[in-house]
Amino acid sequence: MTSPLISAATLAAQLNDPHLVVVDSRHDLMNPSVGRDAYAAGHIPGAIFMSIDDDLSAKKTGTNGRHPLPTADAFAATLSAKGIGNASKVVVYDGGNAMYAGRLWWMLRWLGHTNIYVLDGGFAQWKKEGRALETQANTRAPASFQATLHDDMRLSAADTLASITDSNRRILDARALERYLGDVEPVDPVAGHIPGAVNRAFALNQRDGLFKPADELKREFEVILAGRAPAQLIHQCGSGVSACANMLAMEHAGLTGSKLYAGSWSEWCSDPARPVAKG
């Protein structure tokens, strides 16, 4: 199986490929302007910028989470407008932890596009290796992206609620431990976690800024699966973003088929009828 990760050296050797689209998806939940500012200050040559708020999310209603998924048609239209077509090879990067890059990787897979990779170590690794940067903003000619939807890759809040009492399923929370426990909640109005969910912070996927070896990640996630097939695992986080980094790590480890509860905690806790656990 091909890893969904690409090294800085490999990407650097492919920058002249006319089918290559490099996407900068840097972001900061606490300061949404950080990504665009970082892109303007310097980015990988040829890279376009895509915003998690503006390009990768639908409008918020107050009950659909902080980064609701757009419809497949709306996202396909966004991709087309950005110059990403079905023939494109897409490489996406963020600051380095794959939190935001993982979201675009997952969304393209959701629409049936498999020629998509995440830069291992992101912008931090690219810069660490002393590779070329540019500051000019890039746009691409519009392309045609036709979606082949794989909607079995995601679950709704109702699906996730039903899974709480299903011992064959397991819910994995990718947030930092203190948020999972409900000790702190810097972003959402309610602290805690989905009852029955186990915690594995997405930051554990990396060491020294790069993803751990595939065999090591495989062993770690097999402990969480506890004999279940990957398809029985439901990923969630705060808003369906960092959970994708855990899915990316599993894919790198050869464990394919797990699901995303895209609304995640921010959607879950918007309905007081849904149960909340702490500790």
Edge-to-edge strand list for the sheet holding 5-6: 5-6, 116-119, 89-93, 20-24, 48-49
From the candidates 157, 172, 217, 237, which is the catalytic residue?
A: 237
DSSP readout, 144-202? Answer: -------GGGEE-HHHHHHHTT-TT-EEEE-S-HHHHHTS--SSSSS-SB-TT-EE--G
* Residue in this structure with the two tokens 């439901």, named with its chain if needed: 234
Residue 244 appears among annotated catalytic residues = no
Which residues, including other chains, have CB under 8 Å from residue 228's CB and lie 6 or more apart? 168, 169, 170
Determine the angle formed by the axes of helices 242-252 and 99-110, rounding to 10 degrees: 70
Cβ atoms within 10 Å of 134's Cβ, excluding its own? 12
Task: Give the integer Cα–Cα distance in Å for 171 and 174.
Answer: 10
Task: Give the integer Cα–Cα distance in Å for 232 and 225.
Answer: 8
Q: Which tokens is 250 given?
A: 């599993």
Beta bridge partners of 21: 90
Residues labelled as active-site residues: 237
